Structure 1
Amino acid sequence: MKVVTVFFLLLLAVFDAGAARVECLGEFAPTEGRVKPAEKPWRAEVCLNGLWQFQPGTNGWDATPIKIPSPWNVNTWGCGRNPPPLWPDSVWFPSYPASWDNVQSGKLRRIFRIPSDWGNRRVALHFEAVAGACEVFVNGKLAGEHFDKYLPFEFDITSLVKRDADNELLVSVRAHALFDKQSQRYPKMRKPYPCGSETDHLVGIWQDVFLLGLPPVRVTDVFVKPFVDRDTLELEVTLQNDTGREQNVNVGGEIVGAFALPATNVTVGTSMKLVLREQVGGRLKLWTPDSPNLYWAVVSIKNQDRHVTRFGWRQFTIQGRELRLNGQKIQLFGDFLHPFGPFILSPSYARAWYQLIKDFGGNAVRPHAQPHPRHYLDLADEMGLVVLDETALFGSSIALNFEEPDAWQRFAEHYDGLVLRDRNHPSVLGWSFGNELFAIFEHNNVPKDVADGWYRQLAELGARARRLDPTRDWISCDGDEDLRGTLPVWSKHFGHGTPLDRLPDINKPLMVGESGGTYYARPRQLAEFNGPRAYESYTGRNEALAIDVYDNITRMAKPRLAFYSASETAWFGVEHLPFGYRDFSRPPDANDGVFFTAPFIEGKPGIQPERLPPYVATLNPGWDTSLPLYKPLAMFDAQKAALAGKPSPWDHRIKPDAPPPAPVPTMEKVGFIGDRHGALARRLVALGVPLAEGMRDFTIVDGSIWKEAMITNGTVLVMLDPRARSERAATALVPDATHPWTAPFTLADLYFAEDGADRFIMRYGIEEPGRVLLRASDTDWSLFNNAPEKAKCAAVLLGERLAKPSGAALVQRGNVAFCSLDWRVGTKFWRKLFAHMGIKLNPTTETIPAFDEHGALVNATVKGRVVSSPSHDRFVFHEMNLDLPENGEFSVTFEFRVRSPRALDDLLADGPDAPRVTLFCYASETCRLSLNGQELTPARAEPADYRTRYEFQNVPLKKNWNHLAVTVSSRCLRGDKPATLAVRLHSNNDEYLQQLESAATVKENDRHGDLAPPR
């Protein structure tokens, strides 16, 4: 495997091979201050970062100081102090008490002095960002309040400070969660504020704090407007006068190294705006990703102030379907990434990410789900990456509360703040004012009339950017198409596959901002790309992602899109790194990781963490010098090849070889030695094994009574107690591909990770020698499935690499085979194994559940046979071998049973407190539901993505078993609206819901007359 090594920091690291920890003496987050050298001596600053006092809640001041900047609950930013097995911990500051982790409000305090040489300068407090609603007090008096978590703010404290004595700064912060308001109508809606992703729970001063010394008459803002198409550079200058009387001033400036700006005399009252305008005439070089030329605009108030702004001479425009840069068509290929830990506060980390993007051939980035620190924009300007700047309106949280008027005010202020902060950056293409806001509507079951009103408000919100920034055409809402036609850009998120038919034929740029099954797809979903390899390992899974992304780029992105991004190449396309950890004989612990051992520096910009835990990130800008910058996987390599127009091992789907056919079962009787009334015998009978007394040609022996003397000339299968030990649990198996018992198995047959509590097919291995027919897979996909993104990749990778005891599960020695597999679970597997052994099985008596533990329909009877959901969350008809026509109308009926412990068909008997059951059916076209032969009428039928959501309320289940049939009719098997069905079972009573039983199988006497196909 190729590894890329680029060191961004000059670090001195000490590696302890015994303990595996690494001690790093270098800077974690080298950061500049707010005042530029050219702005001195008119402006000055003091960085107030350092050791502050902290008062958690209403308790007294804690003995442990807090290191500002950092949230006081920073050790919860990630998987926490004591995460589940193999998840990476997130203890970044071991010195912080665990009691801080759950504190929702607190006070932070420090003492500062005004430098004696500041003279009559105005004094301001500047906060880059405070996580939570804060009140700022200086010497006991309120300086100001602020609510937004992600954006900077300033307070003029000139009248509050003492010039020649100590001053007390106290910041009171309350977690945003304290402002939650849960909707009564839509219970998932609870956050009336921009909540972001992975950071919504953080509380405290998490970015830099500065004391600024500013001239009384000054430039407060310069908005650079590079109108390349008009060959005109405009600077919109805002002046502030705090002297208390009008001032006549001379304002001018220069573009350093290019030309002077014409000076003008103006009279300033309290504040004013003026425009400096100049024809460029070829004196500025264009900014492009390949040539990111930058200039400094210096605006001066003669003898009073100097303000410096960096900009680039460039212009993004939209013409029809094309995005244009400086009049030329440009296509963008980029990446996005969730903020999974405080490493995002390091400019070195951002530079490493941007280098990765450029290395695979990309030219764009979307700092995702919330405003990122300024250095992300600064570095993009310098390195030549185009930025789609995004707010913290993270719809994927499903928690934004659109009902609250306060929410809309906060959304607007937040969006305005982002535009005002970042509009001078040449790298910024435009504004993404939200992410997947459709999820709020879909998952809260918002009715159409209410949704229409909120969509109108969202359209108005998006348009606000043009008032503050008329220089950019691009406004989008990522994943929300064009917001019902109101936006100039169509943006969508896709899962795995290349859905060309879902791209609209419209005269505006198309963007696919997220694509691929990176974060969710399970082996059975990815097997369409590379067959059993998707089940084998984390590497095999990544190869499937690689095949998908190569196809996405070559057939969709290059021919049709203005902007394309695979889903988090920097998280899923490269390996997670074992920072300060090498001993794979044990899991990592608190002594592993990179420890930043340089003394803490007072007054230094940038976060100064104490530790970087193993596996928390994929990028290493020199923190652990034994590791590369990043370790690319197949997904990265495929993307690089596709963008370069080169062939790749992943440029085509891989068709697997078919396994050999299973032998025809011939044995009608199987001997059994053990308790015929015991658990093993009962289980074998339920599986359909035709047991007989005593020894036969094939005999199964209860392992608890096995003796070598039992060996006869026949074949003996010794089934060991699955509960005996638990040192080698496994959720997947690997077969001997040459033995007739195991060769017919595919890896899909031997995959149990999605079987819930029954996923562990074995719990210990067999140490004795012999031919291993089945062994434990080193990969446990249950560590990935349903785990959060911050944990899943690291957990699977670490799980593969840890040293393990024997994984032999079925071992043959002569005519005796020993099996440690758990015979209590895995019905389908056991029936196949016994059939491969030559046993003619009776019908099973075991019930296959229809619904999983989350209330999703995963198994049902279709055309007389039980079918399972291929994707585990919906039935995709063309994946189910149903022999349906490619064209023309067809209908499919899904049958299943539900057993209710009480009658819901007589609400008068149980009164108003009786449980209510609702069935949601998501179908690509029409859908009908019958209960015990009677058709039910949906309370609602509303659009949901490309499907229709049918809501059947108050389903009148009778006591005991009920027969349900869902009939879906469609005219499109594949295409942009493929025939699918998803069913979700809900109740207002969780206790009752847990008591429901379900079965995928139906009996003839259950049927009361199938529904005729809908017309």
Structure 2
Amino acid sequence: MTRRNPERQVRLLNGWWDFQPAEQPDTANPAIPDEVPTKGWAANAYLVPGFFTDHYYPERWRRSRSGWARTKFAVLEASPDRRLFLTLRAAIPQAHIFLNGRKIAIQDDMFIGEPMDVTEVLRTGENEVAIFLVEFPTFDHPDDPNTKLIEVPWGCCIATEQAGLWQDVELEGRPAVHAEDVTIRTSVREAKITVITAVRNAGDKPFTGTVAAIIEDGRDEVLALPEMDISIEAGATATVVQQAAWEHYRAWSPHDPHLYQLRTEIRHGREPMDITRTRFGFREVWIEGHRIMLNGVPQRWSGEWCHKAHAHWLRPEYVRKWYAQIRDLGGNYVRMHTFPHPEYFLDIADEMGLLVCQETALHGSYQRGHDSPQLWQRAREHVRRMVRRDKNHPSLVLWSVENEMRWALNIMPSAREELPKLRALFRELDPTRPAYHEGDSSLWNEEAQEIISRHYGTNCHGLGWWDRRRPLHAGEVGRWHYGSPYTALIWANDEVFADYAALSRSLAADAARIVELGRANEVSCLFIWNTSGLDNFRPGEARKFRWDQPQSRYAKPLAHKPYESEYAWWQEGAGYRPGFSFEIMRRALRKLAV
């Protein structure tokens, strides 16, 4: 075989794209064009990734959340032993993908896209990718004429208020024979590492070779797993499992977030044909009685999250400031609420030592799902995408199957049967992490569940009802999101009607009492709801942003309205001004040693 570069090559197609809005008179049955328009384009008008519905774009773009975006890129002469993959990491709402005028795919998942092999559609020289973004077909809500239902996991916030290619667009070159998927499983209790590699032969000839797995710590190779022989017919995929004892590892933990890198090589003879690298940490999560264990240490988790629909939260600088505020509050954990957040949120958590729960887009407290076989099939595909993308992140400790679907059972009765199946699917795909029902475990037999979950009120501390036979996860604690002088009267007097500081401190005192009782009762998670969005003094600065490298990664807001973002991510330092409840909650979450 001719020697080729075995390294993956990723090219970002981000930057200024052409755009044109599309009117949709009938949003229940949106019009889907069969071909890419040749006229009507605003050249270099839309910065990808980002939301074309944001306030700094023309108002008429936002009317229907529907429009075309396109860009052009060059491809050098194709190589017969390489494949090219196009990935839209995420697009809202539905994305119809055209390449060189040919429709190649429809992307229904608004939160996770996957690579598409586009080798046969590309041509040497100039190529054009065009994306038509359009609302999903809708169905009437049985009780609310103002709400329309869709047949995909729906999430919240950006999924209803924004539209666009909101994560990176990539073109990746891979050898024809390549590692299609790599799964890394580490066991502290057994001092063992297991690597599962799916090898794809996308070429036209059979392949015989070996799979090598080498663990690197910085520049040092610290462990080589036994090489495995492999033979794959053309167009087929084979799976290889490699295991090795590993006693002298450095465990990943919030106190020491040490990261290794796995180098996977597909070799023909001794020559690497494909090299891919996967970052990971050596750690293990399991349950013992009423405790969640990380590397044998009982866990007590706390943190917070808030709803947001602007683009600022997609900046990595924003994420780091948010995580730092959680740490400043005394927290160590974040629940990615209402939909799976971008993968780089996990990358940053891996580096900072913050623990993460990743949640599906089945968000029952906002009724938007149409109960149908199509919805549940897409939900299963959604779960599979989540596990494929995120499974190797050491910060990820839990899967949340859904959120508060109890409030949607009136329009989605099938959820009672389907949601436990999704929990089982998570465990089938990833037996290394628990999966649970956020706020909803009481809908089913809790004796058959690994973790039970409660939201709000005194149930969250568990006193008087929790038998401590399995962990209790209180995923939403506090009254901020429905705070008012009336709810604040429990810990204050009439001053809450005239003084916001008094109201805020009263709400915090209520939450702090539940947190302290829950900590004394060994509740595994007490998650504050919430301080960053509802008791955080946002930056009042109006400013515009200029991006010298528009093709680089991540969304790039063009402007900030006063008080739009929770954090001044563009500044050095903390970037936040905590509200009046912060110190009370920080004291409730203070570190204790017994």
TM-score, structure 2 normalization: 0.89
1:111 aligned counterpart, secondary structure: strand
Give 1:343's aligned residue: 312
Give 2:225's aligned residue: 261
Match of 1:156 among 117, 121, 133: 117
The letter of the residue matching 2:8 is R
Alignment of 1:921-1000 (within 5 A): none
- Distance in 1, matches of 2:460 and 2:204, equals 64
Alignment of 1:259-658 (within 5 A): 259-269=223-233, 270-281=236-247, 283-302=248-267, 303-402=272-371, 404-441=372-409, 444=410, 451=413, 454-472=415-433, 474-485=434-445, 486-495=448-457, 500=462, 503-578=465-540, 580=541, 593-599=542-548, 601-621=549-569, 623-624=570-571, 629-644=575-590
- Distance in 2, matches of 1:55 and 1:130, equals 16
Aligned CA-pair RMSD: 2.3
- Distance in 2, matches of 1:97 and 1:226, equals 50
* Mapped contact 1:549–1:635 kept (Cα < 8 A): no
- Distance in 2, matches of 1:197 and 1:341, equals 12
1:545 aligned counterpart, secondary structure: helix
Query: Structure 1 residue 103: deviation in Å?
Result: 2.6
Query: Structure 1 residue 602: deviation in Å?
Result: 4.2
Give 2:31's aligned residue: none
Answering whether residue 100 of structure 2 is matched by residue 108 of structure 1, we say no
- Distance in 2, matches of 1:464 and 1:307, equals 27
Alignment of 1:785-796 (within 5 A): none
TM-superposition CA deviations, 1:207-259 (whole Å, max 9, x none)? 11011111111111110011222221000001011111210112112110321
* Mapped contact 1:395–1:438 kept (Cα < 8 A): yes
Query: Structure 1 residue 398: deviation in Å?
Result: 2.2
TM-superposition CA deviations, 1:501-552 (whole Å, max 9, x none)? 5743251110111111101021021012122332232222211122122212
Q: CA, structure 1 residues 362+602, in 2 after alignment: closer, same or farther (shift >3 Å)?
A: closer
User: Which of the pair is proportionally richer in strand?
Assistant: 2
* Mapped contact 1:477–1:483 kept (Cα < 8 A): no
Q: CA, structure 1 residues 643+116, in 2 after alignment: closer, same or farther (shift >3 Å)?
A: same
Give 1:62's aligned residue: 41
Give 1:207's aligned residue: 167
Highest relative contact order (Cα 8 Å, sep 6+), 1 or 2? 2
Alignment of 1:667-816 (within 5 A): none
Alignment of 1:157-176 (within 5 A): 157-163=118-124, 165-176=125-136
Query: Structure 1 residue 182: deviation in Å?
Result: 2.1
The letter of the residue matching 2:298 is K
- Distance in 2, matches of 1:479 and 1:333, equals 16
* Mapped contact 1:250–1:301 kept (Cα < 8 A): yes
- Distance in 2, matches of 1:229 and 1:175, equals 49
* Mapped contact 2:216–2:263 kept (Cα < 8 A): yes
Q: CA, structure 1 residues 500+121, in 2 after alignment: closer, same or farther (shift >3 Å)?
A: closer
Give 1:713's aligned residue: none
- Distance in 1, matches of 2:214 and 2:337, equals 35
Query: Structure 1 residue 264: deviation in Å?
Result: 2.2
1:100 aligned counterpart, secondary structure: helix
* Mapped contact 1:545–1:635 kept (Cα < 8 A): yes
1:382 aligned counterpart, secondary structure: helix
The letter of the residue matching 2:478 is G
- Distance in 2, matches of 1:159 and 1:149, equals 26
Structure 1 gap ranges (5+): 1-38, 76-90, 581-592, 647-1015
TM-superposition CA deviations, 1:361-387 (whole Å, max 9, x none)? 111110111111111101111111111
2:536 aligned counterpart, secondary structure: coil
Query: Structure 1 residue 635: deviation in Å?
Result: 2.0
Query: Structure 1 residue 342: deviation in Å?
Result: 0.8
Query: Structure 1 residue 642: deviation in Å?
Result: 1.8
Give 2:8's aligned residue: 43
* Mapped contact 1:496–1:516 kept (Cα < 8 A): no
TM-superposition CA deviations, 1:169-205 (whole Å, max 9, x none)? 12122123xx221254887672322111111233221
Give 1:747's aligned residue: none
Q: CA, structure 1 residues 462+500, in 2 after alignment: closer, same or farther (shift >3 Å)?
A: closer
Q: Tell me the number of residue pairs that the alignment of Structure 1 and Structure 2 aligns.
A: 560
- Distance in 1, matches of 2:443 and 2:388, equals 24
- Distance in 2, matches of 1:315 and 1:192, equals 36
1:166 aligned counterpart, secondary structure: strand
Give 2:82's aligned residue: 121
Query: Structure 1 residue 161: deviation in Å?
Result: 1.0
- Distance in 1, matches of 2:518 and 2:422, equals 30
TM-score, structure 1 normalization: 0.53
The letter of the residue matching 1:346 is R
1:542 aligned counterpart, secondary structure: helix
TM-superposition CA deviations, 1:97-150 (whole Å, max 9, x none)? 110011343222211111459774211111111112222221122222221000
* Mapped contact 2:184–2:392 kept (Cα < 8 A): yes
Q: CA, structure 1 residues 311+549, in 2 after alignment: closer, same or farther (shift >3 Å)?
A: same
- Distance in 2, matches of 1:136 and 1:545, equals 48
- Distance in 1, matches of 2:76 and 2:484, equals 60
Q: CA, structure 1 residues 498+216, in 2 after alignment: closer, same or farther (shift >3 Å)?
A: closer
* Mapped contact 1:143–1:156 kept (Cα < 8 A): no
Give 2:29's aligned residue: none
Q: CA, structure 1 residues 154+567, in 2 after alignment: closer, same or farther (shift >3 Å)?
A: same
- Distance in 1, matches of 2:523 and 2:72, equals 54
- Percent identical residues: 28
1:560 aligned counterpart, secondary structure: coil
TM-superposition CA deviations, 1:871-917 (whole Å, max 9, x none)? xxxxxxxxxxxxxxxxxxxxxxxxxxxxxxxxxxxxxxxxxxxxxxx
4+ residue runs over 3 A deviation: 115-120, 183-189, 495-503
TM-superposition CA deviations, 1:256-284 (whole Å, max 9, x none)? 03211222221122211101111012x21
- Distance in 1, matches of 2:250 and 2:465, equals 37
Greater Cα shift, 144-153 or 259-268: 259-268
The letter of the residue matching 1:100 is W
Query: Structure 1 residue 438: deviation in Å?
Result: 0.7
1:159 aligned counterpart, secondary structure: coil
* Mapped contact 2:301–2:333 kept (Cα < 8 A): yes
Give 2:101's aligned residue: 140
- Distance in 1, matches of 2:460 and 2:263, equals 49
The letter of the residue matching 2:158 is T
* Mapped contact 2:436–2:452 kept (Cα < 8 A): yes
The letter of the residue matching 1:67 is L
Give 2:26's aligned residue: none
